[in-house]
Amino acid sequence: MSSLQEPPLLEPLLFEIEGMKCGGCVRAVEQRLLGQPGVRQASVNLLTRTAWVDVVSAEASQAALLHSLAGLGFQARLRPSDAELPSRRQRLQSQNWWQHWRQLVVALGLLLVSVLGHLSLAGLGALWIHALVATLTLAGPGRPILVRGVQAALAGLPSMDTLVGLGVISAYLASLVGFLWPQTGWPCFFNEPVMLLGFVLLGRFLEERARFRTGRALEELAELQPDTALLLLGEGPPRPVRVGGLRPGDRVQLLPGDRVPVDGVVRQGSGAVDVSGLTGEPLPVAAIAGTELSAGSLNLDAPLVLEVLRRGADSAIARIIHLVERAQARKAPIQGLADRLAGRFTLVVLALALATLLFWWLLGTQLWPQVLQPAPLAGAHAGHPMLAVAAETPFALALQLSIAVLVVACPCALGLATPTAITVAMGRAARGGLLFRGGDAIETAAGLRAMLFDKTGTLTRGRPLVTAVEPLQAASSDRLVQLAASLEAGSRHPLGFALLQEAQRRGLELLSVAEAHSWAGQGVSGRIEGQSLRVGRLAWLEASPSPELLARQALLECQGASVLAVGGEQGVLGLVAAADQPRPDAAGVLTALRGMGLRLGLLSGDRREPVQQLGASLGLAEAELGWELRPEQKLERILQHPAHGALAMVGDGINDAPALAAADLGIAVGTGTQIAQDSAGLVVMGDRLEGIVAALRLARRTMAKVRQNLAWAFGYNLIVLPLAAGVLLPGYGVLLTPPLAALLMALSSITVVVNALLLQDGLQDLR
């Protein structure tokens, strides 16, 4: 026997990383994580600043991974998967708004000082004051950018901070040489680093504000769980306690208007509960004793006493939030391409900046001498021109243009193009009861060409209902249902549950049963009012049923029903047919999916007649149906399906798990089993199929936004980089100054994020 063993399955790690600013940072972090032993996969999200790491051995210790990232200049911390949901105050503190507002104040202050210096106000006209302000700027607000830029460059993975830092320090050092040694003739433009950093910090503040809005949907989902609950202690009054302190078995009181704090079961009271915050279901559900409620549901009209089933960290809403957070760190394939390009883009920009410097210094001004400006008039700042639009020497012009090239390039827009749209879509979809497993699931959903469905519990309700009652021997239909339901009262069989529901619908009281016994695969027997009765298969009740009975049974079965016979001492008393009913929205959903260009099919383990009956009612051709299929046969159909594109499988049961995992996209309905949901790339919460259509429309709109953002990011760089390099300077006098380049760079990132937010405004129909 081989001694080789499969590596142990370890839970993926989710890290929060500070300091990432562009796609180059994303690429650097991914490469560093993938280079660590024991790491199989790593996926980094620039927008949420998280890293999802799939580890296969204990070699990939948390300490080693954190240390490796610290070597790149990125501070990281592990986000525990079982942590309690933070309180509202903690969530607000976690945004660290004071730091961002301080960043804005510093940026505006730098810009104000630079403008006053140009206007020679408040004694700021002296060149030494500009030198002092620039020095303090680099040592203060500019220091983190310079440090991160140097660390990334030393690691061989230059980032956006490297470009900005190189531009800022080049302008500062050149100005310092010209200030200390005027005989060199070098220009002095100390305002360059001041204005550059001012615009960069202003842009990052605005970008951070826009980022916050992209995650607002997930924040609103977290706010559905209250911070406190009313704990019942013996006969005393209820006491307010933190939700994190509740444990299974505790009892809490819910007043009208209260949110359910944790998952629990109703023990006292009855009323209506709004679950739309979690599942998107528009109609409230009836809550009575024994009803399970999920955290985040809203109690509408009556006091309830709830027994806690799971603590706050294990509640349904906590699991949804953790699932979405992890999914946001899993990128779409198209994002991986953008990140790879952004990682190499920085090197291209560095080469272009060097080429620009050498060209205009050594050759450009000789070819077009008119690009150099005359010396400033008396009273102007010598060697310190307004907004750096003038250059007296070839070196001064070359330096300004090369700095503009460094600053105007924006790998940030490339890095943000995909995750902004993906994050907005995931958060908003979660509020509508649609849970994507990652950006890859959204991209796959947008490209679907075919979709296969399971039958029971997916296209049907999964709960048989009585469809026909045919009494014999002069027995009434009510009497027949009453006898059958009484015998089935202790049974867990789905058909027995259908009989009990029918008796309840008719308002029939159950009768006392003696000597009850269940016969596996046959039915149940017992004595009612002294009479021996049986309910089950006709062949079990009658060894040789009459042709009339057989004909009646065959007619009911042709309609897709399962038939139970009710018999007594005098023979068969009647037949009861029960069938699994189609979901009321199934036909409309299939029609909508066909309208979206998808090919459809049905795979079922049920008998041929019910499958054909359901297919006919839903408009499916017989060639699109499969019946009496075992799980391995469903899997084989999936693998051999000629989809000519991405294929999805929709199911809810344990036997659907292999097919869900094998399809390009597995879709599990929210009422399905946990194993089915764990095998799926998309989970539709609630008892509704319309969510599938909404999810596909959302995915297509999301990928359209991704393509728009990528087109903008690539187009922006293709246009502004040549402008910054001075392509239009000789013929049109167009010069892109470094401060203006910094402003354009910031606006490009903001544009991408704002465009993604427009997607959020268009998703209101998910609720």
> Hey, which residues are catalytic here?
454
Amino acid found at 275: V
Helices (DSSP H) in 507-581: which residue ranges? 538-541, 547-558
Query: Which residues, other chains included, contact 283 with Cβ-Cβ below 8 Å and sequence gap of 6+?
Result: none
Three-state secondary structure of 497-525: HHHHHHHHHHCCCCCCCEEEEEECCCEEE
CA-based torsion, 81, 83, 86, 90: positive or negative: negative
Contacts of 205 (CB under 8 A, 6+ apart): 100, 103, 104, 107
Report the largest interatomic distance among the alpha carbons of the chain, rounded to a whole angstrom: 124
Identify any residues that bridge with 582 across adjacent strands, giving them in sequence order. 460
Nearest to 187 by CA among 23, 12, 398: 398
Closest CA to 393 of 220, 229, 188, 593: 188
Residue 746 CA to chain centroid, in angstroms?
Answer: 26
Is the distance from CB of 138 to CB of 176 less than 8 angstroms? no
Mark out the alpha helices in 624-737 (DSSP H runs).
631-640, 657-662, 674-678, 690-724, 729-732
Encoding tokens for residue 746? 């910031």
The contacts of residue 101 (CB under 8 Å, 6+ apart) are: none
In 10 A of CB 231, how many CB atoms? 18
Encoding tokens for residue 385?
A: 């021109």
- What is the distance, to the nearest Å, from the Cα of residue 415 to the centroid of all Cα atoms in its chain? 17
CA 577 vs CA 140, 230, 474: distances in Å: 81, 48, 18
Secondary structure element (H or E) that encloses residue 230, with its range: strand 228-231
Measured at the CA of 290, the angle between CA 276 and CA 429, to 5 degrees, comes to 20
